[in-house]
Chains A and B, each alone.
Chain A
Amino acid sequence: MRRLLAIILVCALIAGIGVGCKAKAGVVNLGGIFPMTGASATFGTSSKQGVAMAVEEFNTAGGATVGGVATTINYINEDDAGDPAVGASAAHKLIDQDKVIGIIGAVMSKVTLAVAPIAQDAGVPEISPTSTNEAVTLVGDYIFRACFIDPFQGKVMANYAYNTLKVKTAAVLYDNGNDYPKGLAEAFKASFESLGGKIVAYEAFTDEATTIDYKAQLTTIKAAKPEFLYLPNYYGGAALQLKQAREMGLNVPAGGGDGWDSPELVTIGGAAVEGGVFSNHFSKDDKSPKVQDFVAKYTTKYGAAPDALAALAYDAAGLFLDAFKTAGSIKGSDIRDAMKNTTFSGIGGAYKFDANRNPIKAAVILQIKNGQQTFLMTVNP
């Protein structure tokens, strides 16, 4: 009798665990970790709104079918305050208490790097919309991202310069004290040369924050007679470099990366930055119907136009939910496999993951025209 009771209890326990895993029938939790407070709170707000919109649309469209049961998503947003430690405890909470099937987040690479090992150990897929540090997805095979990594932008600009502008020679001036410009510069050089172009000058300076005079480097560059000038630095440095280049009579087209994305580029650079082009993740002026549709819906819902963070978060959530639907399972490994093989088409272009779970997708090229950023074209890798 006691043995029978024990067997019954064990059975009940196993069944209980099974029920626990499924949570409420027809509804599963999805977690988000974003900086809702602190210095980068606007990043968090945009990202959360992007994810929430994607979840809402997914639920309205009927959700996914898991084991024959229609299943919708309950979105739980957590604040990481831009702090890796806070992000890590948010990840524990989402995984242990809320039993989320996946995590969207975080924004900053340093927070994502703290969250990723926890998600990886628990076998919960995580996708970061905007963490560009290469190490993020190298944590493990459950970790993805929706944005391109830094070196990719160099490749995009090399393609644009060589194939669209038809230039054969280029010069690079970059900050050798910072991984971001350095990565872009190296990637630009490698891609431009492999396309058949020639880098005629590859000049560096140390620390954009303390350097103000670039005339010595620009003199060397000018003497090498490049047809294109690549300045993968932040907006302040790029504006000064262009200003001094134009003053010296170096009037070739110039380009940069998403570090140029600030109105101050024009404030400081004035006429010198006019006509400059740079790569970015997303442009609300992209004329493709998908982007315009998203911009309209987002603007109606939240009363402001979406920025790149909102767009990437929307895509990251959309990509995850699409994989969830394809997998038809709440098991982390099934969703992960579906994500690996995804061919999701988002507003940032068509997504496909490489071996390190970095997306291979298009970038947009923006141009400064009359002091405004204008959408020029989409460049596919």
Chain B
Amino acid sequence: MGQFLQQLINGIQIGSIYALIALGYTMVYGIVRLINFAHADIFMFGAYMGFFLAPVMAKVFGGAFIPTIIAAMLITGLLGFIMEKLAYRPLRYKSRLSALITALGVSIFLENFCAMDFVLFGVHFVFGPTYRKFPDLIVAKNIPIPGNLGLNISNVLLLDVGVSVILMVLLFWFVNKTLIGKQMRAVAFDKPTASLMGINIDVVISTAFIVGPALAGAGGILYGTTYGMLASPFLGIWPGLKAFIAAVLGGIGNIPGAVLGAYIMGISEAFATSVNSNLGYGMAFAILIGILLIRPSGLLGKFMPEKV
């Protein structure tokens, strides 16, 4: 029983990070019908921004976590905005396949670009390829749970879950209550009609490309804080892939679906690994395929037949 609950906790922790990434995939897809493969690399970029900025923030503000996560979110948001302007906007009314290939190209570009040695004011900003120790933004502490189940919860886990829940609540408020949020939903529902109603599509799309990457940037900081190590500019690939699958599982384009899918992904991964560590991910993916067979458009996705 104790072990079961502990695995559930492990799954929720990693699911929180997947959720922050999955939201970006699903928002962008919902609005422009584009699978933004470069999203995983924005997550990586956010993690490395934390690595470079945390010492500076600690000096300027005294505490490091909150200023670092906000700075990383601003930077990744800006990166998302630029990315859309330069790479995706020129192709918006071209074939969807071209945009998909461009997304792959942006992804590979970001990974390899970040492998370069940047010098700014005499300081070297090198992302990889050696392992980087992520600064300890908070001191990890183990909080023992009373009772004889032998459960362990760390303050890092509470932080991961807490920060992602706060950001998700903010996102739901943003999408449902603000004017630009309503415009986003309108564009996601029917782009030409929304445009006819006087909604500025460019602004809406730019917003989606700022908010999604900002969340991924926050995910990157949580990732760094949780694991304390950044391996290489390619570290986003696996978490990104899993978050993408989580978004599909929940019903791509659906925001609560992405969160649900991410938690299912994290939890099934933890349980599958605990049953047989050799199969691990393989089993987690088999579960996902099973779910998609029953609900092809995802758990919360709507099945929409093509209108002729």
Binding site for B on A (CB under 8 A): 176, 203-206, 209-210, 212-213, 215-217, 219-220, 222-223, 236, 239-240, 243, 247-249, 264, 267-268, 270
Known: A203-B277, A206-B280, A236-B131. A247 touches B142 (CB 8 A): yes
B95 within 8 Å of A (CB atoms): no
Chain A, Cβ-Cβ closest to B235: A212
B144 / chain A contacts, CB cutoff of 8 Å: 249
Which of B228, B235, B274 is A243 in contact with, Cβ under 8 Å?
A: B228
Which of B2, B142, B232 is A223 in contact with, Cβ under 8 Å?
A: B2
Binding site for A on B (CB under 8 A): 2-3, 6-7, 10-11, 13-14, 130-131, 133, 140, 142, 144, 150, 152, 154, 156, 223, 227-229, 231-232, 235, 237-238, 269-271, 273-274, 277-278, 280-281
Are A209 and B231 in contact, CB atoms less than 8 angstroms apart?
A: yes
B152 / chain A contacts, CB cutoff of 8 Å: 247-249
B223 / chain A contacts, CB cutoff of 8 Å: 212
Which of A206, A210, A248, A268 is B131 in contact with, Cβ under 8 Å?
A: A268
Chain A, Cβ-Cβ closest to B136: A270
Chain B, Cβ-Cβ closest to A203: B277
CB<8 Å pairs between A and B, sample of 17: A205-B280, A210-B237, A213-B14, A215-B14, A216-B271, A216-B273, A217-B274, A219-B6, A220-B274, A223-B2, A223-B3, A243-B227, A243-B228, A247-B140, A247-B142, A247-B152, A249-B144
B274 / chain A contacts, CB cutoff of 8 Å: 216-217, 219-220
Q: Give the docked Cα–Cα distance between A247 and B142 (Å).
A: 6
CB distance from B299 to the nearest CB of A (A): 23
CB distance from A246 to the nearest CB of B (A): 9
Q: Give the docked Cα–Cα distance between A239 and B156 (Å).
A: 18
Are B228 and A205 in contact, CB atoms less than 8 angstroms apart?
A: no
Which of B133, B270, B271, B281 is A215 in contact with, Cβ under 8 Å?
A: B270
Q: Give the docked Cα–Cα distance between A239 and B273 (Å).
A: 20
Nearest first, the 9 A-B pairs at minimum CB distance are: A216-B273, A215-B10, A203-B277, A216-B270, A223-B3, A204-B277, A219-B6, A210-B238, A204-B278
CB distance from A16 to the nearest CB of B (A): 57
Which of A216, A239, A267 is B269 in contact with, Cβ under 8 Å?
A: A216
Q: Give the docked Cα–Cα distance between A220 and B14 (Å).
A: 17
B140 / chain A contacts, CB cutoff of 8 Å: 247
Are B229 and A205 in contact, CB atoms less than 8 angstroms apart?
A: no
CB distance from A240 to the nearest CB of B (A): 6
A205 / chain B contacts, CB cutoff of 8 Å: 273, 277, 280
B131 / chain A contacts, CB cutoff of 8 Å: 236, 264, 267-268
Apart from A204-B278, A216-B277, A236-B229, list 11 A-B contacts with CB within 8 A: A205-B273, A210-B237, A212-B223, A212-B231, A219-B270, A220-B274, A247-B140, A247-B156, A249-B144, A264-B130, A264-B131
Are B281 and A206 in contact, CB atoms less than 8 angstroms apart?
A: yes
B273 / chain A contacts, CB cutoff of 8 Å: 205, 216-217, 220
Known: A176-B278, A247-B140, A249-B142. A215 touches B130 (CB 8 A): no
Q: Give the docked Cα–Cα distance between A270 and B133 (Å).
A: 10
Q: Give the docked Cα–Cα distance between A239 and B133 (Å).
A: 11
Are A215 and B142 in contact, CB atoms less than 8 angstroms apart?
A: no
CB distance from A233 to the nearest CB of B (A): 13
Chain A, Cβ-Cβ closest to B2: A223
